[in-house]
Amino acid sequence: MSRSSPIRQTINALLKHFSKPIQTKINNITAKSQVTSAIPFTKKRNAIYGCLFIPYDIITKNNLELNQLQQSYKKHHVTIGLTWKNYKQLKYKYSLGVSNQLDEYLFTNIGGNDIVSSIIYIMKQEGNSGSGEQRNDLQELIKEIAVNGWTPVTSLVPLGTRNMINEKWGGHNYYNISGGQQNALQSWEGKAPLIFTTYKNSAANKDIADYVTATMLWQMIHIEDIDSCIKEDKKKIFKEEKIKLEMFLKNKKFMGKTCMELIDEIIWKQDNTLWGPIRKECLTIKNFDDSLGAEKHLIAQVSHNEATCKNKLYWDEDNQCILSDYRPGNLFWETKLGNMEQQDFTIEECNEDTVNKVIKRMEGIVKTGKEASPALKKLYEYLQNNKELFD
């Protein structure tokens, strides 16, 4: 077994001071990848730096280049998914000799096992309730399969084996079509293999994942009642380990800023105590330890400033890798209720929305000459007296 990195050793040392539920909560931040029906053969409970699957349209939307993909995923590989429409476009450009470097590579490496590979996939797309278009695409794909001798994508290792590289799967095409009154069509037989990790909530490698965990742990150890969590005879060593973590975060940069700078931009602390930036409420150990009986809507969850649904990927010069929504500076702790209230807004947008709604409501009541409710008055006064919370 490989030796843990220095920052992972510090994370583990700090976690020993907390209950098992909290240890599990922190470790699961990067230990469980998101499961989604929008990605072929998504693995469950896989590390977020497993063999990634990224749709071609997401690559082009974020202006990512071939050399960036190769550099980013040289340890844990990536597969680019080409829809049938993507494939036809790439084939047409290739025939004219006008392909760019990425398009030519993807078109000529379908089913490859290098750092970057590609497959053709047909499945129901978001917002499309029918399956007629997919069935028509499949008929065209079947002809192309016969010409090229392609085979369905399948795993080359036993079920349950961790997949980090493209050499552990084989094949060229995937389809999963259902809907309407016709029979479902699948490219595989029997139980579906589990191969890929979604690009959402992902990390390019374990080091990046460890820094994601570290930034969330740093936030958590600033809860209001942190002192009550640490045994008296362990407080000195806890403080020493906390300083170590602080030094890591002050010296590690992502996208031009240190982790500490990124954390301070996104979270709000009063008297060095962590608050949820959406609800503007102090977080305590009860929010993090599921065994202490907090109501479900008050359990702390990993929340995003820039929402996952934005499908953003960034090239980071500092670390020579691609960053997803799961990156230092984009994640914070908020209660489930706060997470629900935030929806897909950023913290800043959420703050503006809250303030505007209260002010508009108050102004509307004043214009009518009516009396505002005590609750609305109290909230309005709170906003006026605590403007720094919403700046």
Higher pLDDT, 42 or 182: 42
Higher pLDDT, 117 or 3: 117
d(CA 316, CA 318): 5
d(CA 327, CA 80): 21
d(CA 220, CA 164): 30
d(CA 200, CA 184): 27
- Asked whether the predicted pLDDT for residue 59 surpasses 50, the reply is yes
What's the maximum distance between 2 C-alpha atoms anywhere in the chain?
78
Residues with Cβ within 8 Å of residue 42, at least 6 apart in sequence: 33, 34, 35, 36, 53, 194, 196, 197, 198
Looking at residue 125, its pLDDT comes to: 66
- Asked whether the predicted pLDDT for residue 1 surpasses 50, the reply is no
Residues with Cβ within 8 Å of residue 1, at least 6 apart in sequence: none
Looking at residue 4, its pLDDT comes to: 83
Instruction: Write the Ramachandran bin of 111: left for phi over 0, alpha for psi from -120 to 50, otherwise beta.
Output: left
Looking at residue 38, its pLDDT comes to: 84
Higher pLDDT, 34 or 113: 113
What are the backbone dihedrals phi and psi of residue 60, each rounded to the nearest 5 degrees, phi first?
Answer: -70, -35
Higher pLDDT, 176 or 355: 176
- The residue-averaged pLDDT of 39-64 equals 90
Looking at residue 256, its pLDDT comes to: 97
Rg over alpha carbons for the chain, rounded to the nearest Å, is 24
Contact indicator for 341, 278 with CB cutoff of 8 Å: yes
197: closest CA among 167, 165, 223? 165
Return mean pLDDT, the chain. 90
- The residue-averaged pLDDT of 197-211 equals 95
Looking at residue 31, its pLDDT comes to: 85
d(CA 223, CA 289): 12
Contact indicator for 16, 229 with CB cutoff of 8 Å: no
Confidence of residue 213 (pLDDT cuts 50, 70, 90): very high
Looking at residue 390, its pLDDT comes to: 58
Least confident of 122-136, 171-185, 271-285: 122-136
- The residue-averaged pLDDT of 175-193 equals 86
* Model pTM score: 0.89
- Asked whether the predicted pLDDT for residue 128 surpasses 50, the reply is yes
d(CA 167, CA 373): 65
- The residue-averaged pLDDT of 301-320 equals 97
Residue type, 256: G
